Structure 1
Amino acid sequence: MRASEQIDLYATNGIRILNAIAQNINRTNLNDWQKETIIKNYVNNFAEFESIYVTDKTGRQIVASEFETTPLSPPSEGGEGGGNKTEAFSTVSKREVYKSEVFISDNLVPLMTIAVPIIRLNEFEGMIAGEINLTNMWRLVDSIRIGNSGFAFVVSKSGLLIAHGDSSSKVRVIQEENLKDMDIVKSVLRGESTVSFYKDYRGIKMLGVSAAIKSLGWGIVIEQPVAEAYAPATKLSYELTVMVILFLIVITVIGYLGGNRYLLTPIANLMGGTREIAQGIFGKKVAINTGDEFSELAKSFNYMSEKLIELQEDIRKKEREATIGKIASGIVHDLKHPVRSIENNSKLISRLYSDEEYRKTFNNIMERELLNINRFLDDLHELSSPKPLEFVPVNPEGLVINVIESVSVEAKNSGVEIIKNLSADGIKVSADKFALERVFKNIVINAIQAMPNGGSLTIDCHCDTESSSGEAIPFLNISFQDTGIGIPPDTLKTIFEDYKTTKKKGLGLGLAISKKIINQHNGTITAESTPQKGTTFTIKLPTI
């Protein structure tokens, strides 16, 4: 606290002054008269000093500001006196600062003695000691008031009461009362700052706050009667109690008249919904239409319930993907080599038959089925170990032409006519050639398979622009429009999700993988369909 710092500073300042005097009288070879003049000037200029004296290195007094006055109070064996020359000199000769106990002079002035060593060329040359008047410290303590009955008091390092702000307790200071048995005094003399309750010498319960004056080993305590300290809180507590009682009465009346509708029912509904969610029944919605905070709370509850369903589905999807990914990796590894063997052996088997027509049919069937198996394995491989894309400038129109050529036989056999409307020759995008070609091929094959009775597939490729922040952004538009069986609306919503398919064969990975690839190209893919009329897939890619 600030008071302890001020008292600390008061004593520390006295030590600084004595050190300054020691330096002055030690700086040159001064005679005793000159030294006496110096210390008398200091006593005259610094009111806190009653007297100052100097000894040589043997402890013999050589000069003093007042020769007729004993610089240290006479020692009393085992008493609390101000100390003696022997004790002071013994401490200072060890090059330590001496600080005596506080004592009361004959004219009832509080004093203490401070002594410091005189060092010259790193050699002990003597001691300079001064009696410090602590009247200013008393005035400082007297100025500290808390309420009507709160005062401060100071104890020395031995627990001696050396200052008290209450005028009725001044006599206790004169009588040198010792407070070392008080718990708060014990704590502060250990250097601890504490807040505690205790009874004073009158038996009155007090609230005390203490702080150590570390440079002196003293302590200061500011105390106030508990009844006075807590009077505002007691009054406030009484007022709050009255207000709470009135509030409870009002709430009881409201609850009796309309609380069931406006308070209890909404709370019960929310608690019921919370219990169902805790039991794992997500999607529970609460209907509260009170038009107040309960309605807003119900909206937040319903929003949370919807998000829990989405989160649950997302977790299930990720678990399913992880499981199937592990299985897929094993299947691809185990089937790749047997499929290669079947492909090679089928070519040998076809040569065993002399019927050309039979061999042609056999080869066509084997080629088609092996192609389906390899596509299936490719999808599984992509699911378990997706390859990183390698982006280079690519002309997508060229990839479309390659795909049309590769499926021409299958399209012809299915009675599907492929119509080309290509007007983007020379337009390039940043793409992985093989990944993008796979997307185109997957869409074209799906379209052919969606027209088992024949039909037409129109592939349109052209450059277009769209406005963004007032700026025209060019992009490549590629659409695949078939006249097949179409896709039901419910299925269309999830057509790009994993394991969604409209065919009897396959895992439903093709379009999901295609969407991921297009997303990696910073593009978009959408689907529009009318059952029994056809489907259109549209891909948009940024140009370079």
Structure 2
Amino acid sequence: MRLNLNRRLRIIRRNLKRFLSRKISTRLIISYIGLGVLPLVLVSLILISLTRETLEVYIYEKHHEIALRASNQIQLFIREPLTIMKTAALTREATDMNSFSQRSLVNKIKEENTIFRKVLVLNDSGQVNATTMFGEESANITRMPELKAPFRKGMSGDVYFSEVSFIPSRTPILTLAEPIKRFDQAAGVLVAEIDLRSIWALLDSIPVGSEGFVFLLNKDGKVIAHRDKDKLIARKDYSGYDFYPDLLARRQLITRQDPEG
């Protein structure tokens, strides 16, 4: 009887030792795992957060560079016709104020530069002296009130830039005027309408990542150039968007917007 009891006690002790040794081993394993894995997880989370922030900053900077480049290209686009007009206004064909010579001049300008929709010369009375537009040969600023502002600006000796506007065909245009001077006095005004549809192809050629794009607004917040031609035709108005006041104030900014906007 006593032998059986001792034997049972030995078995119980043996099993208890095994259980305790396993429990301690399990604790040690869990501790080692905790000490080894948790720091790695924390470091990984921190690195992921930093990587995301760095990537966002990089993307924003790249997009900002693209916007600046597009802005510079548009300025060069507008400067080219202005340079052509400045040069033309200094030629003898312009300064002689001879209608026949001026007709040849304006036709040559338009034929050699497709960016011009219309080119004309106003004399010092506001009468059309020469034009590339059929039916406007005998017009004046009274009949064509849209010419009053460029005429007055040009006759004061200054260059005129209009706001971007839209003709009935929904084509965006910009009107430029350059004074024609004789003996340092304005004798007439060279006026041209610039067809801004050429800007569409220019902006469409500027890549912004895999899905991004560049678009252009006028002073009133209406679309001049946009990849989505439905927005262009509808003259989508962005003046109600949060970023618009910053654009008017000529502040550079980065903003998040609905891509359908």
- CA change 1:87–1:29 in 2 (3 A) is closer
The alpha carbon displacement at 1:130 in A equals 0.7
User: Which residue matches 2:243?
Assistant: 184
- Note the 1:342-353 alignment, pairs <5 A: none
- Note the 1:356-435 alignment, pairs <5 A: none
User: Which residue matches 1:164?
Assistant: 226
Whole-angstrom distance in 1 between the partners of 2:235 and 2:136 = 23
- CA change 1:182–1:52 in 2 (3 A) is same
- CA change 1:28–1:179 in 2 (3 A) is closer
What is the identity, as a one-letter code, of the residue corresponding to 1:136?
Answer: S
Aligned match for 1:113, one of 171, 175, 185: 175
User: Which residue matches 2:208?
Assistant: 146
Conservation of the 8 A alpha-carbon contact between 1:153 and 1:163:
yes
- CA change 1:114–1:41 in 2 (3 A) is same
- CA change 1:93–1:159 in 2 (3 A) is farther
What is the identity, as a one-letter code, of the residue corresponding to 2:131?
Answer: A
What is the identity, as a one-letter code, of the residue corresponding to 2:240?
Answer: D
User: Which residue matches 1:64?
Assistant: 131
Aligned match for 1:4, one of 71, 74, 81: 71
User: Which residue matches 1:101?
Assistant: 163
Whole-angstrom distance in 2 between the partners of 1:69 and 1:177 = 32
- CA change 1:54–1:174 in 2 (3 A) is same
Aligned match for 2:153, one of 91, 99, 103: 91
Partner SS, residue 198 of structure 1: coil
**Pair 1:24-2:91 in alignment:** yes
Conservation of the 8 A alpha-carbon contact between 1:54 and 1:64:
yes
Whole-angstrom distance in 2 between the partners of 1:13 and 1:85 = 22
Q: Which runs of 5+ in 2 are unaligned?
A: 1-67
The alpha carbon displacement at 1:18 in A equals 1.1
Partner SS, residue 237 of structure 2: coil
Rg comparison, structure with higher value = 1
Conservation of the 8 A alpha-carbon contact between 2:95 and 2:187:
no
Whole-angstrom distance in 1 between the partners of 2:201 and 2:249 = 26
Conservation of the 8 A alpha-carbon contact between 1:26 and 1:118:
no
Whole-angstrom distance in 2 between the partners of 1:180 and 1:117 = 34
What is the identity, as a one-letter code, of the residue corresponding to 1:190?
Answer: A
What is the identity, as a one-letter code, of the residue corresponding to 2:162?
Answer: S
Conservation of the 8 A alpha-carbon contact between 2:217 and 2:224:
yes
The alpha carbon displacement at 1:36 in A equals 0.5
- CA change 1:27–1:84 in 2 (3 A) is closer
User: Which residue matches 1:253?
Assistant: none
- Note the 1:215-226 alignment, pairs <5 A: none
The alpha carbon displacement at 1:107 in A equals 4.4
What is the identity, as a one-letter code, of the residue corresponding to 1:10?
Answer: F
Deviation sequence 1:8-61 (CA, Å, 0-9, x none): 011111111111111114676352111110110111111111210000112111
Higher RCO, Cα 8 Å, sep 6+ = 2
- CA change 1:186–1:25 in 2 (3 A) is farther
Whole-angstrom distance in 2 between the partners of 1:180 and 1:55 = 36
Alignment RMSD (CA, Å): 3.0
- CA change 1:200–1:186 in 2 (3 A) is farther
The alpha carbon displacement at 1:4 in A equals 0.8
Whole-angstrom distance in 1 between the partners of 2:117 and 2:230 = 23
Whole-angstrom distance in 2 between the partners of 1:109 and 1:27 = 29
TM-score calculated relative to the size of structure 1: 0.32
Conservation of the 8 A alpha-carbon contact between 1:26 and 1:120:
no
User: Which residue matches 2:101?
Assistant: 34
Partner SS, residue 116 of structure 1: strand
- CA change 1:173–1:25 in 2 (3 A) is farther
- CA change 1:137–1:111 in 2 (3 A) is same
- CA change 1:96–1:160 in 2 (3 A) is farther
- Note the 1:95-494 alignment, pairs <5 A: 95-165=157-227, 167=228, 170-199=229-258, 202=261
User: Which residue matches 2:6?
Assistant: none
Identity %: 25
What is the identity, as a one-letter code, of the residue corresponding to 2:233?
Answer: I
Whole-angstrom distance in 2 between the partners of 1:30 and 1:93 = 14
Which has the larger helix fraction? 2
Which has the larger strand fraction? 1
The alpha carbon displacement at 1:194 in A equals 1.5
- CA change 1:152–1:28 in 2 (3 A) is closer
The alpha carbon displacement at 1:68 in A equals 2.4
What is the identity, as a one-letter code, of the residue corresponding to 2:255?
Answer: S
